[in-house]
Amino acid sequence: MNKTEEVLQKYFGYDSFRPLQKEIVEDILAKKDVFVLMPTGAGKSICYQVPALLFEGITIVVSPLISLMKDQVDGLRQNGISSAYLNSSLSRQEQSDILDQLVENKLKLLYVAPERLMQESFLTFLQKLPISLFAIDEAHCISEWGHDFRPEYKDLKLLKTVFPEVPIAALTATATERVKEDIIKSLRLEKAQFHSASFNRPNLYYTVTPKNGISVQLVAYIEKHRGESGIIYCQSRDKVDRITEMLNKHGVKALPYHAGLIDRTRQKHQDAFIKEDIDVIVATIAFGMGIDKPNVRFVIHADLPSNMERYYQETGRAGRDGLSSECVLFYSYADKTAIEFFIHKKTIVEQEVARKLLRKMVEFSETKTCRRKILLGYFGESFDNENCQTCDNCANPPEKFDATIISQKILSCVYRVGQRFGAGYIISVLTGITDEKIVRNNHEKLSTFGIVNDFSKNQLRTFIQELIHLNYLEQTQDQYPILRLTSKSTDVLKKKQQVMLYLPAVKKEKKQKKYYGENPELFEKLRTLRKQLADEQNVPPYIIFSDVTLKEMAGSLPKTKEEFAEIKGVGKQKLELYADSFLAEIKRFI
């Protein structure tokens, strides 16, 4: 066992590194700059925490959120690692004490916000210290093309000037090619070693469900997942408050989280969630949460996210411990219209970018093919399996039917209205709605007016999207997209081409177990003990042990400290702190 593996075992309780971690650690120890692109839950933190323990000096970690800093430091201290954070939540005396510890070289890691790090006085102070590494967490925040741009991150470009000899590790879970280029250019990482892990999260199950009475749908879902931790994302603060109130009335322990709440209340609600005093947090899509809770079993989007990066990051908060978890999106075409309303308020250049991002999100929501393939494809990663088995379309493939006649009706209507209207107008004509615009255009007199009565408006919209994907129709990319015929349309209209479309699927219920392993009764007892110990120390339960570690305890039933030490996630300090309590609980169960 080499030094890096000894540190991994001693402090973190793992026998081996996950994919890419070892290579990244070795590059950092060789004083090389690194750019790390790893999905949520893949273990980015280990990549700089292990080198920090092997370097003689101090590692400075740049983090955008107070809650994330506290979470990381709590976890490191539980593992016996000297670390601290500097931010506005600390008193002046507490901050002064930490600065003294830095001078005395008593800390291995210090977490700071970018605005604190780049203060002239603080930079001057750091220049007197033995800085070994700068780790820039959430590095995508530096890019205006990213989904979570933070202007204060731009100042980090000075690090290479002030500390030319200190290596930089930039880490992020989501970065398109444009964002990646921005990070490299801004931090001057042209010579950095690039490490990119797969974006695939095989333990996440993706499903999209038509929105039809969202309150009833949410209650029905959560009823089947009682006692599990979950996050619900909504578009507006008002909707967050309404859904939270509705859930509480149905006996669900839920709290709201949005920018309209004062900081203290917001922090209190987040603490209640990570300490498992409540089961569900309801949050605005527009507000970053900074939650590092590994056992979130479901993430629900009650409204359509505006882009795939945001969707990927938010769904990525589920199943960070590697256990099976669900990502549910309740989709309505009206959500797309609502997002377009806000896009219209942006500058022309911003509108173009935002519409392009939204179209990809809508494509993901409406596809009848593998959702995982589309999601990974967005980030430039191919997925070769024809059936991922972990999205609704693959687990329950929709059937196709001969849709030649309904396709002819749709294409004929597009032609007869002059190929100058969008999908909503075409659907209104086909279903016989006599609104003012249709009457003004004399389109209620067309032969295609009211000729569809065997399909709903939503089904027609789905068929139109499929015809666009199959190139039987094209849609302009303007602010108000117009439908036009293509060269393939003629054969369909002349009855020379059969068209097969997907039947609207009846979703099968996915059976999800609340526990994955042996002795579920013992697992719940260990969870209760973990919560009790966590409350005594005022830390989140997962800081003590993860669900994965508890699952292994429940399965292997260790009887001695030596056997307990073999469990993944049990390092030297945690062995001393907790072995007796957990072994006693296991003994009682046996």
**What is the rounded radius of gyration, in angstroms, for the C-alpha atoms of the chain?**
27
Q: Are residues 549 and 468 in the same domain?
A: no
Instruction: State both tokens at 148.
Output: 């979570």
Q: Are 409 and 430 in contact (CB under 8 A)?
A: yes
Q: What is the Cα–Cα distance from 414 to 412, expressed in whole angstroms? A: 5
Give 384 or 171, the one with higher predicted confidence: 171
Residue 515 predicted with pLDDT over 60: no
Contacts 24+ apart (CB under 8 A), 502-507: 502/368, 502/398, 502/399, 502/400, 502/401, 502/462, 502/466, 503/398, 503/399, 503/400, 503/401, 504/398, 504/459, 504/462, 505/396, 505/398, 505/399, 507/207, 507/209, 507/392, 507/396
DSSP secondary-structure letter at 2? Answer: -
pLDDT, mean of residues 160-173: 92
Q: What is the Cα–Cα distance from 118 to 158, expressed in whole angstroms? A: 8
Q: Is 79 contained in some domain?
A: yes
Q: Are 269 and 256 in contact (CB under 8 A)?
A: yes
Q: Are residues 118 and 159 in the same domain?
A: yes
pLDDT tier, 176 (very low <50, low <70, confident <90, very high otherwise) = confident
Whichever domain contains 304, its CATH number is 3.40.50.300
Q: Name the range with the highest mean pLDDT among 67-71, 125-129, 453-457.
A: 125-129
pLDDT tier, 38 (very low <50, low <70, confident <90, very high otherwise) = confident
How far is C-alpha 86 from the chain's CA centre?
27
Q: Is 236 contained in some domain?
A: yes
Residue 505 predicted with pLDDT over 60: no
- The 10 Å Cβ neighbour count of residue 14 is 17
Query: Among 165, 196, 227, which residue terminates a domain?
Result: 196
Q: Are residues 34 and 144 in the same domain?
A: yes
Q: Is 44 contained in some domain?
A: yes
Please name the residue ranges forming H helices in 486-571: 489-493, 520-537, 541-544, 547-556, 561-565
pLDDT tier, 411 (very low <50, low <70, confident <90, very high otherwise) = very high
Alpha-carbon distances, residue 79 vs 135, 320, 423, 488, 558 (angstroms): 20, 19, 58, 64, 21
- The 10 Å Cβ neighbour count of residue 88 is 9
pLDDT given for residue 398 in this prediction = 81
Q: Are residues 90 and 157 in the same domain?
A: yes
Residue 140 predicted with pLDDT over 80: yes
Q: Are 24 and 47 in contact (CB under 8 A)?
A: yes
CA angle 524, 525, 527 (to 5 degrees): 60
Number of domains in the chain: 4
pLDDT, mean of residues 184-202: 90
Query: Among 327, 361, 395, which residue terminates a domain?
Result: 395
Query: Among 196, 229, 263, which residue terminates a domain?
Result: 196
pLDDT given for residue 131 in this prediction = 95
pLDDT, mean of residues 433-459: 91
pLDDT given for residue 583 in this prediction = 95
The sheet with strand 193-196 has its strands ordered as 83-86, 109-112, 58-62, 131-136, 168-172, 34-37, 193-196
Instruction: State both tokens at 392.
Output: 């609704």
Residue 299 predicted with pLDDT over 70: yes
Give residues with Cβ within 8 angstroms of 342, minimum separation 6: none
Q: Are residues 327 and 271 in the same domain?
A: yes
pLDDT given for residue 1 in this prediction = 67
Collapse the DSSP code of 323 into the 3-class scheme (helix H, G, I; strand E, B; otherwise coil) and give the result: coil
Name the CA dihedral angle for 110, 116, 121, 127, rounded to a multiple of 10 degrees: 40
Query: Is the four-CA dihedral 461, 372, 307, 218 of positive or negative sign?
Result: positive
Q: Are residues 350 and 433 in the same domain?
A: no
Q: Are residues 349 and 477 in the same domain?
A: no
Residue 290 predicted with pLDDT over 70: no
DSSP secondary-structure letter at 368? Answer: S
Q: How many angstroms separate the first and last alpha carbons of the chain?
A: 35
Share of the chain above pLDDT 70, in %: 95
Q: What is the Cα–Cα distance from 194 to 515, expressed in whole angstroms? A: 37
Q: Is 510 contained in some domain?
A: no
Residue 269 predicted with pLDDT over 70: yes
Residue 448 predicted with pLDDT over 60: yes
Whichever domain contains 406, its CATH number is 1.10.10.10
Q: What is the pLDDT of residues 218-260, one digit of tens each?
A: 999 999 998 899 999 999 999 999 999 999 999 999 999 998 9
pLDDT tier, 443 (very low <50, low <70, confident <90, very high otherwise) = very high
Residue 203 predicted with pLDDT over 70: yes
Residue 479 predicted with pLDDT over 70: no
Predicted model pTM: 0.78
Q: What is the pLDDT of residues 67-91, one digit of tens each?
A: 788 888 999 999 999 999 998 888 9
Q: Are residues 116 and 217 in the same domain?
A: no
Whichever domain contains 531, its CATH number is 1.10.150.80
- The 10 Å Cβ neighbour count of residue 150 is 17
Q: Are residues 54 and 106 in the same domain?
A: yes
Q: Is 514 contained in some domain?
A: no
pLDDT given for residue 319 in this prediction = 92
Residue that the structure tokens 């990244």 belong to: 24
- The 10 Å Cβ neighbour count of residue 165 is 7
Q: Is 125 contained in some domain?
A: yes
pLDDT given for residue 177 in this prediction = 79
Q: What is the Cα–Cα distance from 587 to 172, expressed in whole angstroms? A: 43
Residue range of the domain that includes 563: 520-589
Q: What is the Cα–Cα distance from 284 to 290, expressed in whole angstroms? A: 13
pLDDT given for residue 344 in this prediction = 84
Share of the chain above pLDDT 90, in %: 62
Q: Are 303 and 278 in contact (CB under 8 A)?
A: no
pLDDT, mean of residues 356-360: 88
pLDDT given for residue 18 in this prediction = 85
| Range name among 99-108, 278-287, 568-577 with the lowest pLDDT average | 278-287
Mean pLDDT rounded to a whole number for the chain: 89
Length of the chain: 590
Q: Is 507 contained in some domain?
A: no
Q: Are residues 223 and 151 in the same domain?
A: no
Q: Are residues 416 and 371 in the same domain?
A: no
CA nearest 210: which of 430, 510, 506, 512?
506
Q: What is the Cα–Cα distance from 397 to 139, expressed in whole angstroms? A: 38
pLDDT tier, 15 (very low <50, low <70, confident <90, very high otherwise) = confident
Q: What is the pLDDT of residues 40-60, one digit of tens each?
A: 777 889 999 999 999 999 999
